Amino acid sequence: MLQLNSFFGKIELTDQVIIEKIIISLRNEGYSPLLRDMFINISKLAKIPEPDKDFIKKILIQEGSLKYRRRRSRTVGDVFFTDNYVYVINPLNKSIQVSAFGYNDFSDELETFSEIINTSLKNENINKKISWEKVNLNRLRSNRSIYIREDEHEQINADAEFKKPEYSNEDLQIVNCLKNVDNRKFIIKLAQLKGIMEHDALNEIDRTSIEKLKKSGLITEEYLLKCKEDQHTICQVPSKEHLEADLMKNLQCNCGRSFKNEDLKTIYKLTDNCKKLINGSLWMSIWITEVLRKNGTDIDKIKWGIEANGEEIDIMVEDFGLRIVFELKDREFGLGDSYPFVYRIDRFNGNLGIIATTDKVSKDAKRFFEEQTHRRDSNIKYLEGLDGIQSGIKETIEQLSRNQARELVSNISGPDELNIWPFIETWMDTKLMKLKENNQ
């Protein structure tokens, strides 16, 4: 998935010429500036001398057909392409922001990029090293300052309570078994019946699956002792070894047989951990949290069971500058589920609502949401079936990550100016396609 990182540093950078010197230093280190190289290529096509720093300054900040001046700053940065990453340098008012995005791990790459800027400043006799601070991209918006401090994180609600996602490896094993629809149907039936005899269980599911459920910790065996003579139930024992215990091995049924010589029938019951995970579809919360994590969402941005004034939502994700509200259903999502979901999105100021159902969203519910989109700012996405949920989350995170990247670039390229985003988006598409080919 697309990864983004961004640093911020305070410094007096109000002169476009200084920015040009920084960009020249970056070019000398192998970073290709998109806008500046475009100016050079235009000069070659026009058969005129390559633009120097003063000429580029004139293009960027003076009135004319090529005007890139933004309201926020008189200085303009650039976008740099490398094999694996795209870098963005945004000069702001008395500060500078550098960002990077790509499909590879780049934990040290942005530090290297930032240090080149420090070196170029030193070479220009600006004896002040920038102390870089990581930027919180969680609330990035195009209609506000591009830099958001970490401590500006907005609380959900003063009266809201929520749980942090917590689960064990054993829980994950159970969740992986519950993803199988036949396993899940059997488990739900077993929960309703409290227990099921072995011969009845084999009418619902094959023995191989039963063994997998036992191994994964979903079901356990207990034993029912029955009289061979009239098949009445004598007692229930947790294991065969109990019949050999001192207290039981000498006991006899009313028919005269010892307990160990009577019929011993196997019954299956849910383990306590399995009961916990199917209660309220907790298994879905764990599974979707894992899908989110594997696609790059920090677990600290995922909240479970948020409750305020009697209203509760299953999962909330605060990332990508959005508040995303998840509704989980291990059944069809119907019209009756639609009204409370819309209310909860509004109640918690959600920007995006995602319905994740193992079945489907009914036609009536979809019709209702279509009517609501004309009156509300937030959007609703439907993820139907386990495969649809998994692929839908991946596609959604990819798109939201790209939206953030576009916000970073928007300080350089905007709707009323040269739009360089199609170049960057095509670069992303190409990289993503290569990754898919390599993983096949």
Distance CA 169, CA 175 (A): 10
> Is the pLDDT score of 63 beyond 50?
no
Which one is predicted more confidently, 261 or 386? 386
**What pLDDT is stored for residue 242 in this prediction?**
67
pTM: 0.80
Which value, in Å, is the radius of gyration of the alpha carbons in the chain?
A: 31
- Candidate ranges 39-43, 216-220, 253-257, 388-392; pick with highest mean pLDDT: 388-392
Those residues whose C-beta lies under 8 Å from the C-beta of residue 131, and which sit 6 or more positions away, are 9, 10
- Tens of pLDDT along 5-44? 888 887 766 577 788 888 888 988 889 899 888 888 988 8
The band of 380, judged by pLDDT with boundaries at 50, 70 and 90, is very high
Phi and psi torsions of 319, nearest 5° = -160, 165
Burial of 136 (0-12, 13-18, 19+ CB in 10 A): middle
- Tens of pLDDT along 196-212? 988 889 999 999 999 99
- Residue 212 tokens read as 């997998």
Angle between helices 385-410 and 421-439 (to 10 degrees): 140
**What pLDDT is stored for residue 93 in this prediction?**
72
Average pLDDT over residues 355-379: 85
The residues with which 3 forms a beta bridge, in sequence order, are 102
**What pLDDT is stored for residue 159 in this prediction?**
54
Residue 352 contacts residue 344 (beta carbons within 8 Å): no
Mean pLDDT, the chain, integer: 82
Phi and psi torsions of 367, nearest 5° = -65, -40
**What pLDDT is stored for residue 17 in this prediction?**
76
- Tens of pLDDT along 320-344? 888 899 999 999 999 999 999 998 8
